[in-house]
């Protein structure tokens, strides 16, 4: 029989206290049983967590793939050029007072974090750029995306150069995402017990 011990560094906050497993030891008894020892329960005033979201605007997505080595070597500059061109296209077409948000996410570069890439980072082999357009209605988001379509697929890195054509995975290129929701409420409420803010309704599901 094989036994092992492992120490975990962790404090788990629960409604009525904190489970401190910093010094917990997990010992394998057999293939199906593990013994846990050394955990400590630290009682605290009972709390409940409230979370909430509200309905927001609507989104449409477009996506392109780029392997152009010159663009890949200047991704930050290309992002800014493309962003300006697309925003300008929407404002020219729908008016400068149009309500919208446009973001570009360069996957393969910094699309997940959105943070600046450290200096000296080598260019990737290729990237995918997702264009996210948010507007008050789905129809408006779709129309804005269609207006941006040729600019997204054909914006060159440098002016007065041959117009490029970037790859797109599907057609039509615009994908309506529907209504999006904004996370607004993340609050801890101190209560006397776990049922103070809860209503219970019993239902008899028997025959």
In the chain, where the domains are located: 5-44, 53-183
> Hunting for tokens 């409230």 — which residue is that?
50
CATH topology of domain 53-183: Alpha-Beta Plaits (3.30.70)
Radius of gyration over every alpha carbon of the chain, rounded to an integer in angstroms: 26
113-167 per-position pLDDT tens digit: 989 899 889 999 999 999 999 999 999 999 999 999 999 999 999 988 889 999 9
86-103 per-position pLDDT tens digit: 999 999 999 999 999 999
What distance lies between CA 26 and its chain's CA centroid? 34
DSSP string, 99-162: --EEEEEEETTTTTT-PPPPTTPPPPS-EEEEEEEEESSHHHHHHHHHHHHHHHHH--SSTTSP
57-68 per-position pLDDT tens digit: 999 999 999 999
pTM: 0.72
Q: Is the pLDDT score of 31 beyond 60?
A: yes
> What string of H, E and C letters represents the secondary structure of 52-74?
EEEEEEEEEEEEEEECCHHHHCC
* CB contact at 8 A, 107 and 127: yes
The C-alpha atoms of residue 124 and residue 196 are separated, in whole angstroms, by: 55
How many C-beta neighbours within 10 Å does residue 127 have?
Answer: 22
> What pLDDT, on a 0 to 100 scale, did the predictor assign at position 8?
43
1-23 per-position pLDDT tens digit: 444 444 445 888 888 889 999 88
> What pLDDT, on a 0 to 100 scale, did the predictor assign at position 9?
54
């Amino acid at each position: 029989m094989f036994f092992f011990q492992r120490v975990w560094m962790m404090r788990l906050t629960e409604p009525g206290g904190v489970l401190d497993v910093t010094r917990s030891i997990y010992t394998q008894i057999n293939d199906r049983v593990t013994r846990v020892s050394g955990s400590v329960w630290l009682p605290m005033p009972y709390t409940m967590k409230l979370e909430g979201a509200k309905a927001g605007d609507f989104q449409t997505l477009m996506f392109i793939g780029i392997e152009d080595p010159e663009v890949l070597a200047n991704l930050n500059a290309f992002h800014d050029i493309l962003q300006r061109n697309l925003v300008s296209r929407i404002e020219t077409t729908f008016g400068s007072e149009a309500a919208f948000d446009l973001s570009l996410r360069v996957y393969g570069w910094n699309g997940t974090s959105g943070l600046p890439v450290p200096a000296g980072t080598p260019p990737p082999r290729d990237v995918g750029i997702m264009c996210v357009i948010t507007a008050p209605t789905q129809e408006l988001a779709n129309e804005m995306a269609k207006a941006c379509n040729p600019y997204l697929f054909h914006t060159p890195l440098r002016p007065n150069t041959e117009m490029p054509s970037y790859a797109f995975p599907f057609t039509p290129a615009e994908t309506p995402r529907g209504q999006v929701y904004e996370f607004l409420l993340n609050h801890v409420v101190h209560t006397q017990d776990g049922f103070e803010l809860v209503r219970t309704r019993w239902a008899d599901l028997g025959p």
